[in-house]
Amino acid sequence: MEGLALGVIASGFGEAAPSDLRRNKGWIGTLLERELGAVGGAQAEPDFPALGVELKTIPVNDKGVPTSSTWVSLADIDLRVSRWEDSWARRKLSRVLWVPVITPKGSSPGERCIGRPLLWSPTAVQDALLQQDWDEHMELLGLGAFWQIDATRGNALQLRPKAAKGSDTQWALSDDGEWVRAQPKGFYLRRTFTRDVLAGGIAREQGIADDTKTR
């Protein structure tokens, strides 16, 4: 798909690209899931269960730098999930196929093109950074501090409101120790983290290419 415009991919399904994404926020991800045959969807498993691979589209500028944070999963409000290794977020991030979508300013969805995909798993350092943020968020949730968590917390992994509609709610522990209904929150990767992920992948590819030429 590298180099293809999203409008071209959509035309393969007999569809036209939307004029904008204000009412079609998930269109790009859904389109590429269809193109690649992803089946996991919103379940607590990777998009490609047989391969253990999650698909993540990511908007980037013409220099390959991410332009927004990246959705990961809803927060694990079930406090019985006490380890990062058992969390939904960790399962989603254990192996990711990153598909950059080059998004020039003012471009329509159909004009945007696919950059070079990257198959990635967290390094030990990256995994430790993600775990540190997840542990901090989950500790606050366990203390009933659901309303105190905002996007300023976390070096790599943020916890922010996530709801398709304002009426959507989930159970959360209040500071009084009672379970109440609250707006859902989800985990997002910061742009600085995904920037380093993509840059590291390019550097590794270049290193492999240079090594091959040397041989």
Q: pLDDT digit string (tens) for 75-92?
A: 766 555 678 998 889 989
Query: What angle is formed at CA 51 by the lines to CA 28 and CA 186, rounded to 5 degrees?
Result: 50
Question: Using CA atoms, how far apart are residues 92 and 88, in angstroms rounded to an integer?
Answer: 6
Percent above pLDDT 70 for the chain: 75
CA nearest neighbour of 195 among 54, 68, 55, 25: 68
Adjacency order of strands within the sheet including 185-189: 70-74, 185-189, 157-161
Specify the pLDDT at position 212. 42
Percent above pLDDT 90 for the chain: 55
All domains of the chain in start order, with CATH: 6-214 (3.40.600.10)
CA of residue 204 relative to chain centroid, distance: 21
The yes-or-no verdict on residue 197 having pLDDT over 90 is yes
Specify the pLDDT at position 169. 65
Q: pLDDT digit string (tens) for 136-182?
A: 988 887 776 666 777 788 999 998 877 555 556 666 555 556 666 66
The yes-or-no verdict on residue 40 having pLDDT over 80 is no
Q: Between these two residues, 209 and 193, which has the higher pLDDT value?
A: 193
Q: Between these two residues, 58 and 150, which has the higher pLDDT value?
A: 58
Average pLDDT, the chain: 84
